[in-house]
Chain A
């Protein structure tokens, strides 16, 4: 079965139409005031100064050294605008009929920034290194080669630009699990014997990391030998400014040209910045969804109808409009509405407060039950958990459910979650590889992390069978049917539901053009221009 980048199914079209309205409003597009800048020419030697909320370089012990946002390293397979796998440093790939042998053809004419050729030997060295360091934590994503590459039986070059991975058993998820971080390419000379980097690694991306200081800055320079379209700025200085109000002050003071990347601006500050005529504010959808989980293993939410009642009572439109200030899209399914490839409207829970009361009465009669909702204050990361928790407390009271709110710091919350000392909890997940198993296999499978490590306790035989089948199925249409049914089960059984799909705000001075954010929060450094 060969990879077909342009394969579009009827279901995909329908799903696309279903969320078409979303497409129109996704991303409050950047203001277009002050169009006089459009007559100016971009300065191709410009230095762009960016303010970000977190370190995007993390040093030699990190499995990737830098975040993909910096566009320093490139993967074999990257995710497209709909989170679909698209060829990058691997030009194409195919899997054998028995599903055991994956053959990858590499892009020719690519060299690492240290002059080393990009070829099969380099790729194999990197995969072997990733296996060597597994598991390796990172603030970006944990390197776990078992998930990334599946049950490898053999890894070998066929020629200079072709290599193959042979599995012990079929692993159809490979093109998704290998995407982005898990197939990031570095020069083979970049590694120490223990798998750490020896210094700033040599890479193939449109930018080269020249210098960095942890917690302070990263300096990127255009890779003038880049194999693809070369960037439109010569240099990017990325400054780490952890405090949200300091970031906004730096933008207003002209110390940075733009604030971009995950959590760069809080919604309230974005709204304030919109009044500044010199600054353009935008918000683009990202792959993170905020969820509300039920503890299905203990009362009261081991009762399906009570979970359904709460789900029906929550007005996700209103929460997104008022509390999230429009920086999101109301939760439509466990799978993000922003990725039309797998989304199904069948996974959208109904909003019906009257039916919610009827369902709750049918279970509780005149009894009242208590439920604990622990949460961490997410205000610093633009997540208004406290406000949403207060709203939930109010709207489920008529159902006979008294929610006790418990504000904890993040580590204590993780502990409470891990011990199952909760009835309701918030959770967020970025759809890292664009495959539905990443989310549905986590939330709906009885052996998924949400139900084991986090003690969600949801168990449904049909869901278990579907998840297992989805992990083996290689045909797209049949996989879509499996995951559509799983989304439907989620809407019916409500072990968890999506509150909203996030948008991330960014802002820049008017002299900056073509700066946006992709679904995986990667800023468009490859196309940005400074006038």
Chain B
């Protein structure tokens, strides 16, 4: 298959996925108990009268049947309009637009840190001939990854932010503010990357060409960098797309704890307020980000490892 054909096929799959995801999301949110008009009016803690509730429901167009609401929403999306938030009354594109970059910053920084840490430690463990190093690093990582990220976050805040006062405990705006949330988010993906790297490198180490390289007397680091890593890279790169999706999901809790003004905090409020336009917009944007990430990793894998392209044929 030509690269153009490949791109077209992937774009078609991505579009279908987004439509399916948006329908499922729309149905799920509407199936959940809760009247968005009532919740919006009760935001301040006061119960509205039935007349006010009816008037507001009419204003929001919530009396229309669900399929009609969905079709209206899709029509707007096609024209580049994600609608208006029921709770905030602001355009969804504005609400999420001002929060995409903070979430991306957090996600990409976490992806970079966790990938780097996972690959380096994975290679060290794979090359280590001392069983103690392998067991110690893997055990430490498994234990660390077993803690929920919110607990890790609170621990980091108390130790590094509150006691040592090395970095701000929360907030947004400088590289220092990234340190604690990225650390809290990185542990689980780093552990996964470590395990994957170790297994991929170990399997490459058993190959004949590595034995040949060693018999030539090459240094271990040269073998690792020039021969082993390029061969083991394909599954690692392929996993990055999936990992990015997992990281985005993890930001939901972390953004709240660290007062990080990303999309997750907006969507938590939207979910508890049954704010369908914001939830649907969030799913659409994160879905697109994950699809693009997967697409890029597939593309890079294809370029790095000719066997993948050959397999596609």
Contacts and interface: CB of A to CB of B under 8 A. Distances in A.
Sorting the interface of chain A by its residue count into under 10, 10 to 19, 20 to 34 or 35 or more gives 35 or more
Contact of B157 (A59, A141, A246, A428): A246
B258 interface: yes
Interface SS of chain B: helix, strand, loop or mixed? loop
Contact of A255 (B49, B169, B266, B272): B169
Given A249-B158, A411-B273, A453-B50, A142 B41 contact: yes
Given A61-B88, A214-B98, A250 B46 contact: no
A428 B42 CA distance: 11
Contacts of A253: 161-162, 165, 168-169
A410 interface: yes
Contacts of B52: 135, 142, 144
A412 B271 CA distance: 11
Contacts of B173: 216
B41 A137 contact: yes
A139 B34 contact: no
Contacts of A216: 171-173, 259, 261
B55 A135 contact: yes
B259 A135 contact: no
A279 to B, nearest CB: 13
Given A61-B90, A415-B35, A252 B43 contact: no
B165 A254 contact: yes
Given A252-B162, A253-B162, A412-B32, A453 B39 contact: no
A500 to B, nearest CB: 16
B156 to A, nearest CB: 10
Given A61-B89, A414-B35, A452-B50, A142 B257 contact: no
Contact of B32 (A135, A411, A430, A454): A411
A69 interface: no
A449 interface: yes
Nearest to B158: A249
Interface residues of B, number: 49
Interface in B169-214: 169-173
A174 interface: no
A454 B158 contact: no
A211 interface: no
A524 interface: no
Interface in A426-467: 428-430, 432, 442, 447, 449-450, 452-454
Nearest to B43: A139
Given A142-B48, A414-B39, 18 more contacts: A59-B90, A61-B90, A136-B89, A137-B40, A139-B43, A139-B44, A215-B259, A246-B257, A246-B258, A249-B158, A249-B170, A255-B171, A411-B33, A411-B39, A415-B34, A416-B33, A428-B45, A454-B47
6 contacts: A142-B52, A215-B266, A243-B259, A253-B162, A410-B39, A453-B53
